[in-house]
Structures are given as C-alpha cells and as structure tokens.
Amino acid sequence: MNYKIAVLPGDGIGPEVVREAVSVLETVAGMHGFSVTTEEGLVGGASIDAYGKPLTDSVLRLAKESNAVLLGAMGGPKWDGLDYPVRPERALLGLRQELGLFANLRPVKLFSALAAASTLKREVVEGTDLLVVRELTGGIYFGQPKGVSRLPDGTERGVNTEVYTTPEIERIAVVAFEAARKRRKKLTSVDKANVLEATELWRKVVSRVHREKGYEDIHLEHMLVDNCAMQLIRDPKQFDVLVTTNMFGDILSDEAAMLTGSIGMLPSASLGGKVGMYEPVHGSAPDIAGEDKANPLATILTVALMLRHSLDQSQAAERIENAVEAVLNAGYRTIDIQEKDSRLVGCREMGRFVRERMAQL
C-alpha cells in the first residue's frame, strides 16, 4: 500500500518540525510494510513571497489529490502588515473550507514524564487525558457580514458575525458523541447560551442529537465557556471530550495545551471531508526559526493521528506514540520543556531519538 501525502511546511519553524515528522513517517512505514510518497507545496507566508498569495490553485489541487495533508505552521511578523484577505493564515482557513474539514480533534494528554514541566501542580495535571472537538468551518471566523467600515462621523466599525445553522451543529455533535463512545463516554458541550443566541441554539441542538440519535449511553453535560476555562485549570481530569464552537475551541484548546507543559506537545487532526489535514497546534515561532530549537514532538504526534485517522495504520501510530513517551522517559528535552537534570537536545536530535526508539519497540 502506498499513500500520497501533501507536505506543506509553511513558515517559521514549520519546515524544521515537518522535516523530522516526515522522516519519522517514512521510517515507521518501512517497519509496517507500507510506503509513502510525499510532495511539498508552499503555503502561507512562503507562498506570498513566491506567488503573491497565501494559497495557490496548484497547492489546493495537490491537497485534494492526496490521501492526507501534513501542515507545519503559518505566519509571522514579516506579513503582519498585509490586508486580511492575503495574510498567511488565510491559507489555513481556505484549506479547511475547500477540503470540507469541519471537525478539529485536539487530544490533550499529559505524558507522565512532563508532569513537572506544567505550570500547575503535579497532583492537578497528572493523568490528564482529554479531547477537544472544535467546529472548524463555521462560527465567527466565517460568518457574514464581516469587515471594517467607516461611519458617517469618521469613526470606524469592525464587525464579525457568530452564526451557526442546525446542520452545522448536528454534524459536529455526532463527531463528538462518537469520539466519546470510544473513550470514557462523557461529553461536555461548551457554549455561552446565557448571552449568545447562536450558542443557545448550539445547546438546544446538541441536546436533541443526544436524545434522538441513540447516544443515551454518553453522559452529556453543558458548561458555559468562562466556567470551562476555569475548570480546565482547577480540575482538568474531570473532562473526557469537549465539543464547542470555532472560536471557543481555538481558545480553550490552547489553554489546555499548557496543561501538558508546552504547546509544542499537541497534535491536531482536521476531518470531515475525503482528505484529512494534520497540523501541530503551535504557531510558527519565528523567534527561534532556523536555530534547531523547535520541539518536533507535536508534529511527530500529528503523524500518528494521520496514520490512525486517514491511513488506517493504527499499529504504526501506536509505535510512534510509544517511542515519543520512551524518549521523554529517558530525559531528553527540547528547550520549551527543559527541566532540571534533563538532557537538552535540538529539533534534529529529538527527531533522531524518536526514530531510534521506534526501532527498539
């Protein structure tokens, strides 16, 4: 079996972490009797520099013709002054929309070896294992009307619209209930139903899906987003699966990332269409780009998600995850998760250690 993977390294540390992740992917493929063919494309700021726009038709076509897409990171101060329609991040939104990727899965699992790296007490975070299911193609990021306009008195007004339809909520709810069924059978739906009518509808539809589509075996609770933000810090182990809107999911998943010690540890999968897209949660970190300081583990773990969700290679995914855990248990750390008495390594060396550990499993 051969799989075609579209590789979009992006900007900043993207090319560095993607390089290590692709090497891990090729290594594990050889171990499990399948092969991968990778083809690179420019997106984000790199595409703007080369072609004047963040996402070209050829890259979009490459993505659609592949079995999966591996994405690095986009953006940086270099492109901050551009108009919104041509900023690097528009490529990310464009890919999600064109590929029909309405469901973003962000697993938040604390490796025991990193419990001390979290800013919270060990007894609070140890054992944390939750999944954020974020709606990805609706809500305030895509709602119309939007934009900045000048008023008659010379002042300006910025508008973004939070909007959800019943079908959009139903389909993400089903994804979340199905995920919860494969885990500990608890789903927390996060909204702001006491203030925002759009999320009042969200709560109503999620409740109906739970009641009418055969998910009575799943324990459903509703939680306001401000309380959820507090509870993630107070007692993260109470959560199994969280499902929420595009904006709330964006914010809460980054907050949850810090429970693990570093945002450099979190992978994500964007699903819903025929082609899944996989990317680390972290940004482009231009301040350390090219210095071999980046943590590649989130991108390597993202490859494990790709293997599991798009390539049907769960044993290979498990080998990668076990290798990452073994490397951490051995005390190797990049600078973002460095601890006393740990061994500091760079991006390339961390990738090499993961590949070596895979061979020992």
pLDDT tens-place string over residues 267-277: 999 999 899 99
Average pLDDT for residues 334-349, to the nearest whole number? Answer: 93
Continuous segment of H or E residues that includes residue 40: strand 35-40
How much is the pLDDT for 216? 96
Mean pLDDT within 97-101: 94
Domain ranges of the chain: 1-109+263-361, 119-260
pLDDT over 90 (residue 321): yes
Distance CA 135, CA 299 (A): 21
Q: Evaluate if residue 340 carries a pLDDT over 90.
A: no
Average pLDDT over residues 243-254: 95
144-191: pLDDT as tens digits: 999 999 999 999 999 999 999 999 999 999 999 999 999 999 999 999
As a whole number of angstroms, the distance between CA 255 and CA 294 comes to 20
- Report the pLDDT value the prediction gives residue 7, as an integer from 0 to 100: 98
pTM of the model: 0.90
Catalytic site positions: 141, 192, 226, 250, 254
Q: How confident is the prediction for the chain on average, in pLDDT?
A: 95
Distance between CA atoms of residues 222 and 208, nearest Å: 13
Per-residue pLDDT, 118: 84
pLDDT tens for 280-315 read: 989 999 999 999 999 999 999 999 999 999 999 999
> Quick check: bond before 145 cis, omega within 30?
yes
Cβ atoms of residues 52 and 79 within 8 Å = no
CATH class, 119-260 region: alpha beta
Task: Check residue 49 and give its pLDDT.
Answer: 97
Average pLDDT over residues 130-141: 95
Q: Is 147 helix (H, G, I), strand (E, B) or coil?
A: strand
Predicted local distance difference test score (pLDDT) of residue 10: 97
- The 3-class SS string of 278-331 reads EEECCCCCHHHCCCCCCCCHHHHHHHHHHHHHCCCCHHHHHHHHHHHHHHHHCC
Give yes or no on whether 1-109+263-361 and 119-260 have one common fold. yes
pLDDT value at residue 328: 96
Q: What is the pLDDT of residue 149?
A: 96
Task: Give percent of the chain above pLDDT 70.
Answer: 100
| Topology of domain 1-109+263-361, CATH | Isopropylmalate Dehydrogenase (3.40.718)
| Predicted pLDDT at 117 | 82
Contacts of 264 (CB under 8 A, 6+ apart): 280, 282, 294, 295, 297, 298, 334, 336, 337
